[in-house]
Structure 1
């Protein structure tokens, strides 16, 4: 894998150390997450974040374990870091860091105090909500290490304040149980019990959200570091009373098991180079089995596999899952798990539409493209894995999808227009494509009518269903005729006088006031049209000259912009409060996942495909810039294209992994 390591110049500089974040997932949707310097900059940062009944219903448990060294002279040295509402950062333990590295996906810190060097490592027990933290004396000594356990028990999306009751702490052998939900265990536990007021999260302040909370100092572990090799370790784990009663394996075993598993994940993917190896491990973070905990093994117990769209705040979304499918499962040789996932998602089909399981936990049917991406994912699975049994099993459901779309799904105006065979969609107040941001409940980019990528996906899906039917020896029925009609209409309707493709045709005029009285064909230059050339059964042959114009306007080092800079409404910076960010979400913001469609279109265009490796240079360098070893959700549309959004995003990783491997 790529070497990810930083010395004192990065670790000891506050801005540099907090711009870079690490993530250790538990395979259930929970995680440990923080910054290189140890300063918590988000409400979501913590050492034990516990998955709930849905992937997004997480709770923050163990906030931090703040190290403090007591030297033979009696002097104390604090190695933790916190920021307070006064804007003071105290303590500033990052200034004593001489090294941070991410090895086999696990973070490791080294602090130096003169000739004394202390190392910290941590890991999650895969398939169980369990954290292991180990401290080791590397050189020097003796010293005594204290570890202040700072806790809470709250929704990961919120905060907790001292004006409510403090967490309930129950003493048990070797530590404590907090709120009956999680347990701490380690050496020489001393209960404390007091509030720390006004902890500040600078990233939440920048995002226009509540930046402060109060935390509970529950108690302190301590142990001797007399000679090099001595260790002091702490475990923290969550679960029901029975699970809390059973102590996990020692911290060292948990850490070494995590290293071995991560190496197996990478080896199984058979990566071609260090970047591919890094991306294979990054992909693993998003593949979960909710409903654990299970044993600390390669496959946690629970439901069928699912996909977390992004960390730290997203849950499972069907559109993100299906766009990510090929990269996460097929490019990493996890087709068996993928098969389970596709079967589970097929069971959610209703009236020809795939459920979109939102972060709220409610099952909703509110995307026009999620189902079409599902058709694509099934077809790619069968093509890559040779899984004709799954093709035969799911074909009746896929035919039902086609039938419902041909006659209308009954939801949000989603259905084929009998006049031209193209797929139309749209309803007041709804945003059904992937450009689904809202401000005050109103869509920013509603795109009602016949969006270009939706119809490219529709034609691709029809062709895929016809191909699967032939593969298992079945009559495709009316599907080929529907495909041919839609493809002919697409080729006639979507080319725009501007020299690229319309983003939407037959859009209702109220949505586009500058248009005609009743209908309008929107020619804003957006990346959605890339799917018209990139899909396996794309409706158009790529025109190198058109792709060159699109690339010149949209391409950045981190992927295509969502709108050309000279277009009306372009937003250069994806910054500010929720309304500001959502207003610019698809109005020029860069989306790394779109590198996949761009690369496929460029490859299909012919000779220009030889230049493809140069497309990925910026994203490969990005692997050590923001979410370490991973790819961010978004970036600013204007240089220097600083990363924004979630630091770890499934479809960003999946699409880079997929197209680099072709």
Structure 2
């Protein structure tokens, strides 16, 4: 039985099937994303969505969808599905679906009378090309297939409306045709592996609606250009392969390309393999540089997300090589900022005050996976430079005070991962001494000292780092530990934020903590009691003022709720580490039970991955981006931690 398989009863019930999305990527920025019934519900959905760096830093939808029609005895049966005004769905192709299986590649099986047709989709690695393989599994009479491409040629965050600027001209290609609807776009080649006829029959398919955008308060109606249709016969047992790409390809090579790509697939037949597959989809290669995308379908490369997600998305799946390749690219960006104040054009937010702290945390995970010696040899210089940069107060918004604590100004712009804004100002004005900044800083001081502890010539530096750590430990407790046993979220002057938030977790979970075990357990009890959910750690306790657990409504309403209660799965990484440090082997079974909630998500929302956030109250619905790197990475890291404990 397939791990990700959905039968007829679910597929034909749109209330159940339409909320389930699927994502395939080429690891170079392009993707294919839609629902499991192939009905687009977001403007970012599409069969072929690619970056066009010559135009901007966004993705662009070239081919929105590709409607198939089965013709038998002169009668057409359209397998497509689109939503129109008034909850009208047409042409209702989902009623022919018998099953959908996504264990290796997305595979849909249709039954139309005596015809049984399968459709399998493969995205080509590091190439802007998607292949669809159609196989006629059974038929009792002559069968013809028709295909209508729905063309968009637009920014993935915009919508297309009927216009007279469109270029209706098309060029003949090998077993197909090519289109380029607007200036500046590459030509889109639509080809088959066998001879096909193209019938020009252009029209605008008007009024397609995207329900997810409607829910989020955005424009949601679109007109798509349909230039005509392809038609070809197919025999029982025969397979044909369709290609959509930005370059012409030799038709005879399509079968070999398809088979080669299939061999590279990670079979999603377990919780771990689903997350591994999802993690690899965040890999992004641009020429010789390597990055990690923050999420799909609308996030780019973000520095904080990159460093937090990197250990789980690479080391936890046994891919040290990819960790190194991404870290080497990020290292150049870090050094350019520290040495010249230059901000990366690709890695967003490299100048945020906590980025250096998360970078060293990421390298600490690398050291645990490889060895201290190996980490020192490859990244010791970078770690030393970062610590020196912070101590000498070279960062424009990260200041080391006499008490050993780090201070940042977050009144005017958000400085931490809780970065929601309204009217240009932080909704949560975390400013001053932030608890996770200083927990990370204490951990870094001890970790960097450990890297050179056995080198006599570095003894003076080790003593200096440890002395600063000792001072910081005293100041940390004095600043953050309150009478109720948990930690203030931030302290600025005479103001201390009493809100129960998850940022205190890092003072409990990191390898080096300024708190003793009793203090950590007391704070962890508060987190467990007030913040823990089956889908992550709440961003605010229900007992705290302003708790807003549901991420719904228009953009302003969602921004106000973003960090005021919804749960974040990535924080389970810190929670699990803290729990294991306090309870040891006896805590493993509890954490394994907590992971059940995440495994359930493999068949919800975007199948095989984890959404950006979840409501803070039951039934804990997934919201936001459909696949989020830090969530996938940290749950993978939890699985890795538990595996090591189970080997004891």
**Alpha-carbon distance in structure 1 between the residues aligned to 2:8 and 2:35:** 14
- Following superposition of structure 1 onto structure 2, how do residues 59-138 of structure 1 map, counting pairs within 5 Å? 59-72=60-73, 74-104=74-104, 106-138=105-137
- Give the number of equivalent residue pairs: 622
TM superposition shift of 1:576: 1.2
| Aligned equivalent of 1:605, options 566, 582, 589 | 582
Distance in 1 of aligned mates of 2:92 and 2:355: 46
Alpha-carbon displacement from aligned partner over 1:610-647 (angstroms, at most 9, x marks no partner): 42211111011111111111111101111101000111
State the superposition RMSD in angstroms.
2.4
Question: Paired residue for 1:47?
Answer: 47
Q: Write the mapping of 1:580-595 to structure 2, written as runs, cut at 5 A.
A: 580-595=557-572
Compared CA separation, residues 423 and 47, structure 1 to 2 (3 A) = same
Q: Paired residue for 1:288, among 259, 284, 287?
A: 284
Where 1:198 maps in the other structure, the secondary structure is strand
The answer (yes or no) to whether the contact 2:541–2:547 under 8 Å persists in 1 is yes
Spell out the pairing of 1:351-430 with structure 2 (5 A cutoff): 352=338, 361=346, 364-386=349-371, 388=373, 391-412=376-397, 414-418=398-402, 420-430=403-413
10 and 287 in structure 1: CA distance in 2 versus 1, 3 angstrom threshold: same
Once the two structures are TM-superposed, the CA of residue 287 in structure 1 deviates from its matched residue by 1.3
Per the alignment, residue 454 of structure 1 pairs with 437
Please give the residue correspondences for 1:223-372 in structure 2 after superposition, counting only pairs within 5 Å. 223-227=232-236, 229-238=237-246, 244-247=247-250, 250-263=253-266, 274-290=270-286, 302-349=287-334, 350=336, 352=338, 361=346, 364-372=349-357
Distance 1:70 1:246 in 2: 28
Query: Residue in 1 aligned with 2:498?
Result: 523
Distance 1:530 1:102 in 2: 36
Q: Distance in 2 between matches of 1:357 and 1:328?
A: 25
Matched, 1:181 2:181: no
Determine the C-alpha separation between the residues in 1 that align with 2:337 and 2:389: 6
Q: Deviations over 1:360-412 (max 9, x none)?
A: 85854442222111011122213312374552353333223222322323423
Structure 1's 473 and 169: CA in aligned 2 closer, same or farther, altered over 3 A?
farther
Q: Do the aligned residues in 2 keep the contact of 1:317 with 1:356 (CA within 8 Å)? A: no
Distance 2:401 2:358 in 1: 20
How far did 1:195 drift? Answer: 1.6
Q: 1:541 to 1:15 in 2, by over 3 A?
A: farther
CA contact (8 A) 1:199 1:214 kept: yes
CA shift at 1:157, angstroms? 1.2
Matched residues in 2 for 1:249 and 1:287: separation? 30
Task: Give me the whole-angstrom Cα distance separating, in 2, the residues matched to 1:309 and 1:56.
Answer: 14
Question: The residue matched to 2:137 in structure 1 has which SS?
Answer: strand
Q: Cα distance, 1:53 vs. partner?
A: 3.3
Does 2:610 correspond to 1:627?
A: no
* Cα pair 1:80 1:93 within 8 Å, conserved: yes
Deviations 1:208-266, CA, capped at 9 Å, x for gaps? 11111211102322221232x1223210112xxxxx24447644433332321124x98
Give 1:137-152 correspondences, 5 Å limit.
137-141=136-140, 142-152=142-152
Task: Tell me, in whole angstroms, the C-alpha distance in 2 between the residues paired with 1:381 and 1:549.
Answer: 30
Per mean C-alpha deviation after superposition, the further-off stretch among 492-501 and 344-353 is 344-353
Q: Is the 8 A contact 1:176 1:184 kept in 2?
A: yes
- Farther off after superposition, 278-287 or 245-254: 245-254
- Number of the residue aligned with 2:468: 482
**For the residues of structure 2 that align with 1:117 and 1:473, how far apart are their CA atoms?**
74
**What's the secondary structure of 2:487's corresponding residue?**
coil
SS at match of 2:390: helix
> What's the TM-score once normalised by structure 2's chain length?
0.91
Answer yes or no: is the 8 Å Cα contact 1:339–1:390 preserved in 2.
Answer: no
Task: Write the deviation string for residues 170-195 of structure 1: whole angstroms up to 9, x where unpaired.
Answer: 31222222223321112222233222
Give 3-state SS (helix, strand or coil) of 1:565's partner: coil
- Whether the 8 Å CA contact 1:388–1:472 is kept in 2: the answer is no
